[in-house]
Amino acid sequence: MLPAIEPQVLIAVGLAAGVTYSLRLGGLLLASRFPRSGRFRRGMDALPGALLFSLVLPSIVAEGGWGLMAAALTAIVVLRTRNTLAAMLCGMLVIFIVRKLGA
């Protein structure tokens, strides 16, 4: 049997979904009005990497010195092997071991 979804859940998730989809599509549609060369383009080209770096750096730093070690190992593994999954597991393994020993 299906569990019921409360009306307030329906609204809350609906609002969140509307906001998220508008941002996704809005960014794409607005971008075609932007200039495709020069300084602005240079900024847009730098954006993806800078955004991902900003996403992870605070969590890495929050994990302390071992977080930096784990991130460095992840980076080395992905550069050597081009294997994202292996890189992720190596990073997680460092944190796993450190927390096991620390506990």
Partner 1 sequence: MIRGARANVPVAASAMAYGSVLGVLAAQKGLSWLDMMYMNTAIFAGAAQFVMVDMWSNRLPLFEMTLAVLVINLRYLLIGASLDPLFSGRGLLHKMGMMHLVADENWAVTMSEQRNGSATTWFLFGGGVFLYLAWSSGTLIGLLGGGFITRPEEYALDFAFTAVFTALAVGLWRGKSDVLPWIAAGCVALLAHKFLPGKWYIVAGGLAGAVSAMLGPCDSIEVEEVEDAAGY
User: Of these, 16, 35, 65, 101, which contacts partner 1 (CB under 8 A)?
Assistant: 16
Q: Does 68 bind partner 1 (CB under 8 A)?
A: no
Q: Does 30 bind partner 1 (CB under 8 A)?
A: yes
Say how many C-beta atoms besides its own lie within 10 A of residue 66's C-beta: 15
Least Å from the CB of residue 65 to partner 1: 14
Q: Does 54 bind partner 1 (CB under 8 A)?
A: yes
Least Å from the CB of residue 79 to partner 1: 6
CA-wise closest residue to 89 among 60, 97, 58: 97
Q: Does 17 bind partner 1 (CB under 8 A)?
A: yes
DSSP for 36-88? SSHHHHHHHHHHHHHHHHHHHHHHHHHT-HHHHHHHHHHHHHHHHH--HHHHH
Q: Does 80 bind partner 1 (CB under 8 A)?
A: no
